[in-house]
Amino acid sequence: MAFLDLINVSKSFGSLPVVEEFTVQIEKGEFISFLGPSGCGKTTVLRMIAGFETPTAGTLTINGKDQRPLKPNQRNIGMVFQAYALFPNMTVHDNVAFGLKVAGMAKPDIDKRVKEMLALIKLDHLATRFPYQMSGGQQQRVALARAIAVKPQVLLLDEPLSALDAKIRVSLREEIRAIQQQLGITTVFVTHDQEEALSISDRIVVMNAGRADQIGSPFEIYNTPATRFVASFVGTLNLIEGKVVDPDNSRIMIGDQDVTLKQSVTAYKPGDTVSLALRPEAGSLAESAKGDTALTGEVISVHFLGSVVRTRMNVAGNTISFDMFNNPRRTSPTVGERVTISFKASDLLVLP
């Protein structure tokens, strides 16, 4: 049995199902992210773990103990909210100390623990400040310190970085991950930002319409998506349609261009349409690449993205993007030019 175990958990509000038969096993010390669009049920699952919502069906255990009869304050769970939720009339020290006081810890022990937490988040020099005197990033660090000060068995993070600007978000997510690894806290992180989930998670649960579409490592989620939704939601993706020509030999046609796939298409008949996925980074201009497969089309746009130049081309009605590293000594394709991209056949995935 896993440390945090959710088996067939469902939640409905009235007649509206929000989470349906959600199952995930989370190991002790693991950092797992719930990733999905707004309204997919990820925060509802988090609130059920915390005890703020009661499952309509299913089981929820932590370290083998059923959590459903327990109130939130009986679960020993730390939670960091998107809106910080700091007490505005308390100093940083008192905010971090709040849970420890509620737990009845002696004042000398509280002061020692608060000092440890503020040193951990590198804000020990701001102990006497109030929340309004701090930046958003500093406030979120204090919220994190308050959540972990009570030594929770599980830490829940509900989109804690979404209100911050891009640079602070990147640095703070790295700090959160480093602190989590240092303390070994089992952590559930809710986000709609795929880059956040991919960069700091041990595993990712991609949620769609209240269900877990796929659970796996960031590498697995990105490179071998299990469903069309996962493929399109995680990362930038080219969706391409082809016609099956020879199922036994995995041959298809994309327009008038013949392609042999690595994946089997024996489930299809000649003439069937097959949906394919290709990541932009998989394709390169043919003269600079050594792929075993190529597609030719007309350039319809070129976008300079700093370190990367993204080119979009039309291939038999399919818009295909491919990325090149910015090289000042190389001329980018121009709109209207016919170009050929090369890639490995194994990078062209058949979508279920």
Query: How far out from the chain centre does Cα 295 lie?
Result: 31
DSSP 3-state assignment of 348?
Answer: coil
Cut 0.75: pTM above it: yes
C-alpha distances out from residue 29 to 52, 180, 195, 206, 334, Å? 23, 8, 22, 20, 50
Q: Nearest CA to 5 among 72, 41, 55? A: 55
> How much is the average pLDDT of 36-44?
93
Residue 218 pLDDT > 70: yes
At position 160, the amino acid (one-letter code) is P
> How much is the average pLDDT of 60-77?
93
Q: Which CATH architecture has domain 4-233?
A: 3-Layer(aba) Sandwich (3.40)
CA–CA separation, 151 and 49 (whole Å) = 17
The class level of CATH for 238-350 reads mainly beta
Contact 341, 286 (CB under 8 A): yes
> How much is the average pLDDT of 306-326?
89
* Residue 325 tokens, joined: 């590293």
**Cβ-based neighbours of 262, under 8 Å, separated by 6 or more:** 250, 345, 346, 348
pLDDT tens-digit readout, 130-173: 999 999 889 999 999 999 999 999 999 999 888 788 888 888 89
> How much is the average pLDDT of 21-32?
96
**Cβ-based neighbours of 319, under 8 Å, separated by 6 or more:** 238, 300, 312, 313
Looking at every residue in the chain, the average pLDDT score rounds to: 91
Burial (CB count <10 Å: 0-12, 13-18, 19+), residue 14 = exposed
CA–CA separation, 42 and 34 (whole Å) = 6
Where in the chain are the domains? 4-233, 238-350
